[in-house]
Structure 1
Amino acid sequence: MPFAASSLLRAALAGLILAGLLPGSARAEASTPLLPPEPPTCTEAPDPALTLGFSSTPGRPLPADVTGRVDFYAAVYGENGQALRDVRLGDVDALHPLASAFKPLVVQAALQDVDAGRLTLNTLLETTPGRRSIEGYPAGKNSVEKLGRRALVNSDNTASDILHLAAGTERVARAVHAASPCTSVLHTTKALWGTQSGLLPNVLRPGRDAAAYAAAPFEDRLPTSLALNRAAQGLMGPQVEAALDVYFHGPTYDPALELAVQNVSTPRAYAGLLARTLPGAALGRATRGLFRAWLSDSCCKPKAPTLKTGFWGAKAGSGWRLLTLTGVVELPGGQTLAYAYLNDRSDTLESEDMERQIPALVRWLDGTLADLARGR
C-alpha cells in the first residue's frame, strides 16, 4: 500500500486529531505565552563591529511584500574564519527557526560517515512508515547519494530524516553544538512538526513544557530531543500533516513555540557556521565534490549573479509565516562570503505564498552581496 494519503484521508485524520481520537493526539491546551515577547538572543564571540569598528546596512530596501521579523547578516570571511567586513539588518544575534536551512548540516554528517567507512554512497536506506516525514518522499530503498541530493536539491524531508537517523541525531546535535553553540539541530523534521502540532504530549506538552525546554542548557535538552526523535517514528506522515493544518489554523498557534522545538540559530552565528561548512572542508575529495554540486543546484540564488564566483552554495527553507535563505559564495582571492536571511512571524501565512517572495529577495540578495564583496 503506498504511503501517500489522499485529501479525504488527510481531512479524516484532521477530524480525528481535533477530536483527540488518534494515538498520541491531545486536545488543544489553553494558549499561553511560551517565551518572552522579545525572542531570545545568543552571541558566540565579540561583535566585529565593536572590535574593528566596521559594519554597514543594506543599501537597498527589502521587497515591499516582506513583513514580520526580518534579521539578516552577511560577511566576508578571511582564511582564518574571521569576519573582515559585514552587512546587517535587524538583530543579528536573535534566535530564529531555520526551517529547511539546517539540512546541509545533516547531509554533511552522513557524508562524513561515508568518509569514515560507516556508510558508502551506495548504501541503501529504506523509507519505512516510521521514517517517512511530511510531504513528498522517496519510496522503497534509496542510496545515501540519492538521499543526500534529494535532501538538498529537493529539500526532501524524508530524505533528510533518513540520513539524520542514520548519522545519529545525538551525534549531529553534539557536532553542531560544538561548532556553533548558538545553533541547535536537535530534531528530525518529523519530530519537530509532531511536537509543534501536539502529537507527542507524553514527551513534551507544547503549552506547558516548551518554555522550560527552550531555556534549558544543551545537555539538559538533549535527552528530551532524543526521546522526541524516537517517539516521532511512531507517527504517520499524513497524521503529522493533518495535525499541522489543525494547529496552524487553530486557536493554540503560537509562533514562540517554533523557537522551542524547531532547529534554530541566529543570522550571525549561522552565517559563520556556513562559511566553515558549505565549502566542504570537513569532507573527503569525492564527498566534497558531491556536497558542493548539490548545494550549487539547491535553492535559491541568481541565475546570472552579479558576483563573480566559481561556487555559490545555497539552502532555503519555508514554513508557516517563515522563510529562510542561506548560503556561501567563494570570492576570487580565497575569501568566503556567507549570509543568513531569517524571516518569521510574517503577515503571509502559507509556505507556498512565502516562497513567492523568493525571486524578489534573490535579486535583493544579489545586489546586497555584490555591494559587500566590493567593500561598499
Structure 2
Amino acid sequence: MPMPFPVRQQRSVFQHRTRLNYGALLCWFMVACASALAVPADTNRTCRTGSAPASVPNVQATRPLPTTVSGQVDFLAGYYRPDGTLLGTISLGNPDRLHPMASSFKPLVVHAVLADIDRGRLQLATPVAVSDATRSLGPFPAGPTPLSKLLDIAINGSNNTAADLLLLTYGPERLAREVHTNSPCTQVLLTTKGWWTAQSGLASSVIGSRTAAGVKAYGALPFEQRVKVAGRLIVAAQQVRASVLEPALDRVFASSSYDPASELDLQNVTTPRAYLPLVAGTLPGDDLSASSRALLRHILSTGCCRPAAPKLKNAQWWAKGGITWRVLNLTGVVERPDGSRLVYVYMNSLSNTHDAGALRASVPPVVDWIETQLQLLAQP
C-alpha cells in the first residue's frame, strides 16, 4: 500500500527548531489547535480576474474539515467533461483569497521544461551541475544531474534544489511572464532559494531588511517592475550558502517580529480560483508530446498526495502537495474512466501547526476530505 507521502518528501526549513519525537509530535499536533487563529488583516488579500460562466453551478462543501486543520483554508474543485467544458464546482471558504504556493508551483516548472524538450531546446540527458550558488535548502545528489532526474525529484521528494535548477535552466522571467499571461492572479517569480533569502533578511541589498517597508513595497509592485526585482533577488540568493540561509530563516520564523504578510509579499502566490485552470491544463500534460506526457503523468502519479485506497473510481490520479512553515497545499487532477476530470486546489495557510512533520501527518485525513468533496461534485 503506497504511503500518502513518500519517505523522501522534502522537509521544511523549520524542522531543525522542533526536536520532538514523532509520537509526542503527533499528540501535540492533535490538541494544539484548540483556540482559533487570529488572522492578521494584511494576510486577507484577494485577487480575481475572471469567473466561471453564470450557468456553471457551484455547491458549498458541507462536510466539516478534519479537526487537525487550523488557519485559513480555501478550496475549489471543478468537474470537467472530456472536451474540457466545466460542468460545476464545489468550494469552501474564499476561492479568491491569495495564498503562498509552497511547492505546489513545481509542476509548472516541470511541465515547462518538458515543453522545451519537445521543442528540441533541451534533452532529458542534459547534465546540470549544482554549486553553492544554486543549492537550496535540503539534500541534493552530488555531481552533475541529468534533467530526467531533476524532473523526477522536483516532484517525488519535492526537492528544492532540483526545482530551482530546472527553473534557472528554463528562465525564471520567461516562466513568470508565461504564467502571468495565463493567470494574472498567479505569480511565480522566484526560486525557492530566492524567496527564502528575501524572507530571511539576507537580500537587504535588493529590498531592504525583512521587516522594512521595502518588503511591502516589493509585494505591491506592478508585475513588470516586480519581475525585474525578482530577478535581482534570485541573483542575490546565489551569494548566500544554504548552510547560512537555513539558520537565518529559522531565526526569522521564531522571532516575535515575524510578519505573516511577508509570505504573500515574498513568495510565489495564487488563489484557488486562479490556480484551478492552471492545474487542469498542466498536470495532465495534454499539450506535450506522447513521450513527455507519459513521463509527466508517471511522475505526478507516483509522488504525494492521493488516498491510499481511493473510493473514487478513477483511471489516473495526478497530484502535487506543498508543505512549508504553517502552509499545506494539495492540488490534483482525477481522470475518470469516462474521460471526465475532477480538478482541485486546497490551500491552507497560517496554520497553528508550525512543524512540517505535523503538517505531513495531517495529510491523509485532508486527502480523504477532498475525495469526499469530489464524490459529491461528480454525483449525478
Aligned match for 1:118, one of 121, 129, 140: 121
Q: Is the 8 A contact 2:316 2:334 kept in 1?
A: yes
Q: 1:276 to 1:194 in 2, by over 3 A?
A: same
CA distance in 2 between partners of 1:120 and 1:53 (Å): 42
Work out the CA distance in 2 between the residues paired with 1:276 and 1:156: 23
| Counterparts of 1:91 and 1:306, CA distance in 2 | 27
2:309 pairs with 1:321: no
User: Is the aligned partner of 1:60 residue 2:63?
Assistant: yes
Contact 1:81 1:276 in 2 (8 A): no
- Give the aligned residue type for 1:291: L
CA distance in 1, matches of 2:314, 2:234: 39
Instruction: Give me the CA root mean square deviation.
Output: 1.6
User: Residue 298 of structure 1 aligns with which residue?
Assistant: 303
Whole-Å separation in 1 of the counterparts to 2:142 and 2:41: 42
Residue in 2 that maps onto 1:173: 176
- Deviation string, structure 1 residues 135-185 (Cα, Å, up to 9, x no partner): 111221111000000001110000000101000101111111112111110
1:226 matched to which residue of 2? 231
Q: 4+ residue stretches of structure 1 with deviation over 6 A? A: none
Question: Deviations along 1:303-334, whole A, 9 cap, x unmatched?
Answer: 22122212111100111111101111112333
Deviation at 1:295, TM superposition (A): 0.3
Secondary structure (helix, strand or coil) at the match of 1:56 reads: strand
Q: 1:38 to 1:151 in 2, by over 3 A?
A: closer
Q: Matched residues in 2 for 1:227 and 1:107: separation?
A: 23
CA distance in 1, matches of 2:185, 2:227: 15
| Cross-structure match for 2:199 | 196
Q: Which has the higher contact order (CA 8 A, sep 6+)?
A: 2
Equivalent residues in 2 for 1:70-219 (5 A)?
70-79=73-82, 81-205=84-208, 206-207=210-211, 208-219=213-224
Residue in 2 that maps onto 1:32: none
User: Which residue is equivalent to 2:27?
Assistant: none
CA shift at 1:353, angstroms? Answer: 1.4
Q: TM-score, normalised by structure 2?
A: 0.86
CA positional deviation for 1:56:
1.0
1:269 aligns with 2:274: yes
In structure 2, the CA distance between the partners of 1:361 and 1:298, relative to structure 1 (3 Å rule), is same
- How far apart, CA to CA, are the structure 1 residues paired with 2:43 and 2:246? 29
Letter in 2 for 1:364: W
Paired with 1:265 and 1:38, the residues of 2 have a C-alpha distance of: 13
Secondary structure class of the residue paired with 2:205? coil
- Report the CA distance shift for 1:283/1:47 in structure 2 as closer, same or farther (over 3 A): closer
The Cα offsets for residues 59-97 of structure 1, whole Å up to 9 and x where unpaired, read as 321100101100011111235644311110000001100
Is the 1:138–1:158 Cα contact (8 Å) retained in structure 2?
no
Matches within 5 A, 1:317-356: 317-356=322-361
Letter of the 2:123 partner, please give it: T
SS in 2 for 1:371: helix
Partners of 1:77 and 1:275 within 8 A in 2: no
Deviation at 1:351, TM superposition (A): 1.6
What is the distance in 2 between the residues matched to 1:329 and 1:56? Answer: 19
Which sits farther off after the overlay, 280-289 or 77-86? 77-86
**What is the rounded CA distance, in whole Å, between the counterparts of 2:42 and 2:260 in structure 1?**
11
* 3-state SS of 2:145 partner: strand
Matched pairs, number: 341
Structure-1 residue corresponding to 2:316: 311
Residue type of the alignment partner of 2:223 = F
1:326–1:157 distance in 2 versus 1, CA, 3 Å: same
Taking only the aligned residue pairs, the percentage that are identical comes to: 45
Deviations 1:112-148 (A, max 9, x none): 1211111100000011111100011122111100000
Cα distance in 1 for partners of 2:84, 2:282 equals 11
Partner Cα distance (1:256, 1:63) in 2: 26
Does the 8 A contact of 2:286 with 2:293 survive in 1?
A: yes
Could you tell me which amino acid in structure 2 is paired with residue 269 of structure 1? A
Which range moves more in the overlay, 324-333 or 61-70? 324-333
**Counterpart in the other structure of 1:19:** none
Gaps of at least 5 residues in structure 2 are: 1-15, 18-39
For residues 226-284 of structure 1, the C-alpha deviation after alignment (integer angstroms, 9 at most, x for no partner) is: 11111111111121111111010012211110101111100111112100111102311
2 CA distance for matches of 1:83 and 1:213?
A: 36
Q: Secondary structure at the match of 2:133?
A: coil
TM-score (norm: length of structure 1): 0.87
Q: What is residue 20 of structure 1 aligned with on the other side?
A: none
Query: Is there any run of 5+ residues in structure 1 with no aligned partner, and where?
Result: 1-9, 12-34
> In the TM superposition, what is the alpha-carbon distance from 1:291 to its structure 2 partner?
0.6
The answer to whether 1:289 aligns with 2:300 is no
Residue equivalent to 2:283: 278
Structure 1 residue 367 displacement after superposition? 1.4
Contact map agreement 2:56 2:88 (CA 8 A) in 1: no
